[in-house]
Amino acid sequence: KKSFQGPFRACHDVVPPQDFYRGCLYDVCMADGAKQILCPVLEAYASICKKNGATVHDWRTPSGC
């Protein structure tokens, strides 16, 4: 969302999160909320954001990864 102020806020305009969100939502739901799926998806998004020059703030602490 445009109002989202989380750790990936500077990345959303650089790398749209919709595909990551949909894939993560489906995979995490199918695995009953498994962190072993959530954490790698967030890591992949963070990596792509950084490669595209976006600042990514601490996402590991709030997500428990």
pTM, full prediction: 0.78
Task: Give 64: exposed, middle or buried? Use CB within 10 Å, 0-12, 13-18, 19+.
Answer: exposed
Return all residues near 25 (Cβ < 8 A) that are at least 6 apart: none
| Chain-centre distance for alpha carbon 63 | 9
In this prediction, residue 34 carries a pLDDT of: 75
The pLDDT of residue 51 is 96
Length in residues, the chain: 65
How far is residue 13's CA from residue 62's CA, in Å, rounded to a whole number?
A: 21
Q: What is the pLDDT along the chain (65 residues), one digit of tens a residue?
A: 455 678 998 998 899 888 888 887 877 777 776 778 888 888 999 999 999 999 999 999 988 88
Radius of gyration of the chain (CA): 12
